[in-house]
Amino acid sequence: MSLVSLKDRRRQPGGLSSWLDRNIRWVFPLPAVAVLFALTILPLLFNLVLGTQDRSVSDALPSRFVGAGNYLQALNDPRFWNATKLMFQFTAIAVPLQMLLGLGLALLLNRKMKAQGIVRALVLLPMISTPVAVALIWALMMDPNLGVLNYFLETLGLSRSLWLADAQLVIPALALVDIWQWTPLVALILLAGLQTMPDEPFEAARIDGASSWQAFRYITWPMLQASLFAALTLRLIDALKTFDIIEVMTQGGPGSASETLNVYAYHTGFEFLRVGYTAALLTLLLVIVAVVAVSVNLLRRRV
């Protein structure tokens, strides 16, 4: 289409194309809005409605409107509080360590080295593995009777550990797997941040005689803030709602010692078939994750 014909069209009053021209900023996002509505907003609204009912999958079990009943029940459910506590415990162990290790890894990878491509590919391997496969392998390694981790502990002269069977140890053990799998993602984001930094400030610092620690503290660190917060937000949201590795490795056990909120909701939904209560639990999870994500973003603006 030539420029002239475009101009001609614009001059014509009325007609579909002129209407399109005037409202193009609404028309273009329309398909995206429709998809968002069908796949996210509608299910969310349905979830909110379900949360107000005591409902099961079968008509043989009760189904009635309970208003805020499911939410009140959750607040009085010791298992809900236990699950919420475990969710935060898991996140509090996994995410800070991931950030720290990820930063170290990114700084290492940022250096010039031989076979850089291969090293980077190897480091990123855990991240691209299927979580279920990762969980199965780790569960095998952590098996207290047949697993290889206890073999190493014994070789090192340490005593055997129960790993996932120990109610005190199960959350740190699961966090270990999460750290193994997701540290590379943090490293990747931070590495991208490091590589976009201009060389000039570093050259100037070198000329001024700054040590490498000073260069890191006063140049790298402030310039890395945006990447750090991006990685932190991503990992916080993901860690809070971790499901796959926990369900595969422990199903929330032993007992309910590793039953985080997401896992508990899965059990109330797919095993206990209490659809309404599950909807309420998941709404609460959504609120908690949203509050955390928004807080981190507020913090980022203040820093």
Residues of this chain that bind another protein (CB under 8 A):
57-62, 143-146, 160, 162-165, 167, 250-251, 253-256, 267, 270-274
Using the minimum distance from each CB to another protein, give the nearer residue, 235 or 274.
274
Q: In whole angstroms, how close is the CB of 120 to another protein at the nearest point? A: 35
CB 276 within 8 A of CB 70: yes
CB 51 to another protein: min, Å:
18
Give the pairing type, strands 53-54 and 64-65: antiparallel
Q: What angle do CA 62, 68, 73 make, to 5 degrees?
A: 70
* Residue 45 CB, nearest approach to another protein (Å): 20
Please state the closest distance from residue 228 (CB atom) to another protein, in A.
Answer: 37
Nearer to another protein, 29 or 255 (CB): 255
The amino acid that residue 195 corresponds to is Q
Side-chain-side CA neighbours of residue 78 (13 Å): 2
Per the structure block, which two tokens stand in for 8? 């001609």
d(C-alpha 188, C-alpha 18), whole Å: 46
Cα dihedral value 241, 244, 245, 247, nearest 10: 100
In terms of CB distance, is 176 or 289 closer to another protein? 176
Q: Which CB, 201 or 254, lies closer to another protein? A: 254
Nearer to another protein, 20 or 57 (CB): 57
Least distance from another protein to the Cβ atom of residue 274, Å: 8
- Between 130 and 145, CB nearer to another protein: 145
Spatial CA neighbour of 288 closest among 266, 253, 262, 269: 262
What minimum distance in Å lies between the beta carbon of 109 and another protein? 37
Q: Which residues pair with 64 in a beta bridge?
A: 54
Before 222, cis peptide (omega within 30)? no
Task: Tell me the CA distances in angstroms from 29 to 33, 36, 119, 165, one per residue in order.
Answer: 6, 10, 41, 51
